[in-house]
Chains A and B, each alone.
Chain A
Amino acid sequence: MATAEIAVPARQTRRRIASGRFNVTPWLYLFPALATFVVWIYEPLARAFFLSFFEWNMLPTAPLRYVGVHNYTNLFQLPKLWQSLRNSAVYILGLLPIAVLLPLAIAIITHDLPARWRNLYRAMIFVPMIIAPVVAAAVWRWLLDPGHGILNLGLQGLGSKPVGFLTDPNIAIWTIIFITGWKLVGFSTLILSAANANINPSLIEAARMDGASRWEIVRDVRLPLLSATLLFLVMLTILLGAQWTFSYINILTQGGPMGSTNNIYYILWDFGFSSLSVGWSAAAAVLLFVLFGILAAALLWLMDRYSFYDN
C-alpha cells in the first residue's frame, strides 16, 4: 500500500522533469483557495507591517506620514500596552484550569459511567459550545446584573452585598474568563473523555495486576497516554483563548473598568477603530503576530516531542 502510494507519483515526477513541462493543473485547483489567502491574509499581513511605520487616521483624504519606528517606541512606553499584555497572560493562565484541568478531572472520574448516562451528560455539557458568543455574553450579562440578575439576587438572599461582576476592576477579568471557560469546558471534557476511553483497557488491567493503586494508574498510565491530547488543549487555550475573549470584552466591558479587562486583541481594536490611530494598531498587530508566532512554534515543538506516547 505504502509503496504503491509513493511509487506512482515518483514516476510521474520523473517523467515531468524529463519532459521539462510545468504542470499547470494542480495550480488551477489551488487557485481559489490561494487567492483568498493572499487577498485576505498574506497581503493584509504585509500591509499591516507597512502601516506600522506610518501615522494615519484612516480617513482616505488624510496623508500617510512616515514616522519610522516611532509607533513601536511609543507603544512600548504606553502603560496600557503592558497592562494588556499582563492581562492576556492572566486570561490564558486563568483559562487553563477551566479548559484543561477541570475537564481532565471530570474525564477521569467519569470514565466508568454507563454509556447511557454518559450520552445524556454529553448532550447537555456540549450546549455552550454551539451557543453564539454574543448570546452567551447577553445571557451572562443578565444573570450577573447587579440589580436584577438571578445570581446577585441569590447572593443577596444569602446576606451578601451585590457583586459588581462586570464593574469591579478586581473581579471583571475573572468574570470574562469564567464566561469564556463556560463555552469551552464541555468541549474539552468530551475531547478528553474520548481520548481516555480510547486507552487500551489491557494496559490498565496490566497495571492493576501489578498492584498499582487507582491513583498510580492515573498518574503512570492514563496521564502519559493523555499527554498528547492535553498538550493539544493547552495549545488551543493558549493560542486561541485570549482571542475568544474578544467578543465578551467588547460586549460586556469594552476593556474596562479602568482597563482591567483589556487584552492585546482588544487594544488592537481599540487603537484602530475607537481612536483611529492606524499606526499604533498596526504596530501592536505586528508585535502580537511575532509573540503569537513564537508561542506557536514553541508549542508545536513541545507537541512534536510528546506525541510519541502511543497505545
Chain B
Amino acid sequence: MTISLPQATAASPLRRRKTKRHWLANAPGHVALTLLSIICMFPVYWMLVTSLRPANETFETTLWPTSASLDNYIYALNAIPIWQMLLNTLVVSSVVTVIQLVVGLLAAYGFVRWQFRFSKLVYALVALTWLVPLQVVMIPNYLLVVRLGLLDSVVALILPHFASAFCIMLLAQSMRAFPREVLEAARMDGARSLRVLWDVVTPNLRGIIASLAILIFISTWNEYFWPLLLSRTPSNSLIQIGIQMFMTTEGTQWGPLMAASTMASLPILVFYVVLQRQVIQSFMKSGIR
C-alpha cells in the first residue's frame, strides 16, 4: 500500500544535508501525528492505570500508579460473572466468525460460478441489506426472538449474524478475480462443485478469509446493540453488557469499571499487538476498493 520514498539514493555528504532538511520539512507531520497518537492512546492508557490503582487511590492523578494492586479486578470479578461473560463473548464471536465465513463462501461461490436467472437482482438484494439500519428492524427481530423462546440466550445473539452482505460481497469480488481455467479444469476432472469450492477455491482465498475472520471476530466481540436488546441475566450476557453494569444512575464505581473494561479489551488488544499489521490491513481492505 505504502510507497517508500527514494531517499537512500543520494550521495552521502549531500544526503546528510538533505535528511536534515527533510526532517525540518517533516516537523509539522511529526507534531500532528504525535498529538493525534496521544489523543488516541491516552484514554486506553488511563483505563489501564486507573484499573491498577488500589481502591483508595482511584482518584489519584499521577501519570502512573504509585502502587499497583488488583483490588479493582477482584472486586469486579466478585460483582458480576466476568469469566462467564468473557466465555460467552468468545463463543459467540468464534461461532459467528466461522458460520459467517462458511455461509459467505457458499453464497459468493453461488453467485460467481453460475449464471442464473435473477442472479443480479438477488445480488442487489444482498447488497441492499447493508442499507437497513439495525434500529429499523429491531422490534420485529425482538418479537421473533421472543416467539422462538430464545430471549436471554446466547443462541439468539448468533442467529441474526449467520450472513453478512459485506462478507459475501468481498468474497465474491475475490472469487471473480480467480482464474476461471482452474475452476474449469477441476470441473473437467469430474470434481463436484462443493469439492471445487473446498479444495480449489477456498485455499486460494486464504488471505481474504483471514482478513474477514479478523474483522468479523473483532466487530462481534465489540458489538453492543444486539446484546443490549436480547440479554437479560448476567450469566447469559456478553462482556459489553457486563461493563455497563458498573455504570448506574446512582453513581459509577470507576475502579471496577476500568478493570472490567480492561478485561473486555485485553483479548483484542493482545491480538492487535501480535498481529498489528494484519489487523490494520483487514480493516483497510473494507475501506479501499
A269 to B198, CA, bound (A): 42
Q: Are B180 and A150 in contact (CB under 8 A)?
A: no
**Interface flag for B274 (CB, 8 Å):** no
Given contacts A139-B261, A142-B258, contact A125 B228 (CB under 8 A): no
Contact of A247 among B181, B224, B258, B280 (CB under 8 A): B224
Q: Are B4 and A194 in contact (CB under 8 A)?
A: no
**Interface flag for B94 (CB, 8 Å):** no
Q: Are B2 and A118 in contact (CB under 8 A)?
A: yes
Q: Are B135 and A246 in contact (CB under 8 A)?
A: yes
Please provide the chain A residues from 184 to 199 with a CB less than 8 Å away from any CB of chain B in the complex: 185-187, 189-191, 193-195, 197-198
B107 partner residues in chain A, CB cutoff 8 A: 29-30, 32-34
A43 to B221, CA, bound (A): 26
Q: Are B137 and A41 in contact (CB under 8 A)?
A: yes
Name A's interface SS.
helix
**Interface flag for B14 (CB, 8 Å):** no
B229 partner residues in chain A, CB cutoff 8 A: 273
Contact of B135 among A110, A138, A288 (CB under 8 A): A288
Q: Are A194 and B288 in contact (CB under 8 A)?
A: yes
In the assembled complex, the CB of A29 is this many whole angstroms from the nearest CB of chain B, namely 3
B61 partner residues in chain A, CB cutoff 8 A: 150, 153
What is the total number of residues of chain B having a CB less than 8 Å from a CB of chain A? 99
Closest chain B residue to A195, Cβ basis: B288
- Choose the segment among A89-97, A215-223, A289-297 that binds chain B (4+ C-beta atoms closer than 8 Å): A289-297
**Interface flag for B132 (CB, 8 Å):** yes
A25 to B107, CA, bound (A): 11
Q: Are B284 and A148 in contact (CB under 8 A)?
A: no
Q: Are B254 and A134 in contact (CB under 8 A)?
A: no
Name B's interface SS.
helix
Given contacts A33-B106, A40-B160, A269-B138, contact A113 B284 (CB under 8 A): no
B67 partner residues in chain A, CB cutoff 8 A: none
Please provide the chain A residues from 122 to 146 with a CB less than 8 Å away from any CB of chain B in the complex: 122-136, 138-143, 145
Q: Are B288 and A37 in contact (CB under 8 A)?
A: no
B136 partner residues in chain A, CB cutoff 8 A: 45, 48, 268, 285-286, 288-289, 292
Please provide the chain A residues from 239 to 260 with a CB less than 8 Å away from any CB of chain B in the complex: 239, 243, 246-247, 250-251
Given contacts A142-B50, A272-B138, contact A23 B114 (CB under 8 A): yes
A48 partner residues in chain B, CB cutoff 8 A: 136-137, 139-140
Closest 7 CB pairs of A and B: A29-B110, A44-B140, A132-B222, A44-B137, A33-B107, A110-B29, A26-B114
Known: A36-B103, A148-B59. 14 other contacts (CB 8 A): A26-B119, A29-B107, A33-B104, A33-B163, A34-B122, A45-B137, A118-B2, A126-B40, A128-B40, A191-B287, A236-B287, A251-B247, A268-B136, A286-B136
A residues in contact (CB < 8 Å) with B: 4-5, 8-10, 12-13, 23, 25-30, 32-34, 36-37, 39-45, 47-48, 51, 58, 60, 105-106, 109-115, 117-118, 121-136, 138-143, 145, 148, 150, 153, 182, 185-187, 189-191, 193-195, 197-198, 201, 229, 232-233, 236, 239, 243, 246-247, 250-251, 265, 268-269, 272-273, 278, 281-282, 285-286, 288-289, 292-293, 296
